[in-house]
Amino acid sequence: MPAMSSNVPIMPDKAKQRLCQRLHLHAAEQVDILLHAMKAGDAGRQAVVLSPRAPQGYEPPFVCADKTRYPWLPARVRIPANGESPTRYADYAAGLYYVLDLSSCWAGSMLSELPQTPRRSLDLCAAPGGKSMLLAAQVELRDHTANEVNAARRGILRQNAELCGLPNTRITGLRPDQWGNSGELFDLVMVDAPCSGQSLLCKGIKNPGCLGASMVRGNAKRQRGILLAAVRCVAPGGYLLYTTCTYDPEENERVISYILRRVAGFMACKVPAMELYQTWLADFPAYRLLPHHEAGAGGFCCLLRRDE
């Protein structure tokens, strides 16, 4: 059992009640469960995505855990057994697989709902590359754009894309509003939005202020702006996948609700494999994952479709 993290302060009962109300948890006991996961710092669980470089029939050199408890998990994703460190193997350095948190695979599994392979796809906030890797593990990349506005993070994105052999992929660095004004249309747009990152605490990573209202409000405002640009890039009949690694409804359900009210012609898609995670905070299909669900550190996802 890892030592408790000092990243999360001990909360008095009134503060717990406020957090309970803000996250719309059913009971104070759920706040205790969430805070325990944050303090423990071990709720994040690694997964690996087999890359396009992995030959047919390839299996990683480490022991993998049984994944039957995760029916939504994409076929080319493996879960290392407890105690395994997939980054220490030569196959990792050779780009045969990409390592990320299991909850990222949970969000990326929404792509299984796509009725056909997108001809053109855009990963708008792509660095370090996890969502593009998950897309490549589920469909054939035909004309894919991985975009990252931050130059340093774009360099990491480029390295990962080259190492893992993402095919038919271009790396770009435009702002979301530039994409919105570009006139380019895509069958799939993925927005792994910048957020307060509350789930980082559940991985033992320091993230000061992530539970504060001001950080949450600032991120929600930025997320609405990003999505208003992103919807302009979705072709008729196309899809937009919105994901975050935070729990606050203001950055999740309320952002999607804002877009559905503000932008005509979009609807949220129901994903039957994710029914267990249907949020209780929205009257449209959207999904939230908390640490006690034992599928990684947690997050939020929603798949939107544009009318024909």
Catalytic positions, please?
245
Using CB atoms within 10 A of its CB, is residue 99 exposed (0-12), middle (13-18) or buried (19+)? middle
Rounded Cα gap, residues 192 and 183, in angstroms? 21
Give 50's strand partners.
Answer: 97
Residues 165 and 140: beta-carbon distance below 8 Å: no
Name the amino acid, one letter, at 261. R
Instruction: Write out the two tokens for 226.
Output: 């990003």
Query: Strand, coil or helix: what is 244?
Result: strand
Rounded Cα gap, residues 177 and 9, in angstroms? 38
Rounded Cα gap, residues 304 and 266, in angstroms? 6
Give 306's strand partners.
Answer: 266
Residues 189 and 124: beta-carbon distance below 8 Å: yes
